[in-house]
Amino acid sequence: MDEEDDDVGATAVVPPSTQAAPELAWSLDDDGEAMPVERHSWRLAWAQAAVFVALGAVCAFAIGAVGWVLVRGHDDWRQAPPVAHRPGEVTQTPARKAPAALAAPATVTVEVTPPSL
């Protein structure tokens, strides 16, 4: 192969462009007029912040409720635990007798002396 045929990786010298390079894209239509600044009041800013806080609270409540339902769904607190007694091991508690009737206490009379003036 000749050196002249191997132009793939060679650097070529190109004459300078006769046309000026364009400026940055945002400066092409620069007429000196500035874009009007849209100002918002603090009241509007606080209202938007309140909306975002409310949405966050609703999302947090929904996540908490779903989590609570999922956790409570796997909880077996409502079922009574099974009794591990064999039928032969069940013991009967003896029936208690009714207490004997108590005698009524004697009547006591209390007399109070009036205070002296």
Each of the 117 residues of the chain gets a pLDDT tens digit; together they read 555 555 567 788 887 777 766 665 555 555 566 677 788 899 999 999 999 999 999 999 999 999 999 888 766 555 666 666 565 655 667 777 777 777 777 888 888 888 887
As for how many domains the chain has, the answer is: 1
Q: Is residue 36 part of a domain?
A: no
Residue 58 belongs to domain spanning: 52-77
Q: Is residue 97 part of a domain?
A: no
Q: Is residue 21 part of a domain?
A: no
Q: Is residue 57 part of a domain?
A: yes
**All residues at 6 or more sequence positions from 30 whose CB lies less than 8 Å from its CB, including other chains:** none
Q: How many helices (H) does the chain have, and how many strands (E)?
A: 1, 0
Q: Is residue 59 part of a domain?
A: yes
pTM over 0.75: no
Q: Is residue 116 part of a domain?
A: no
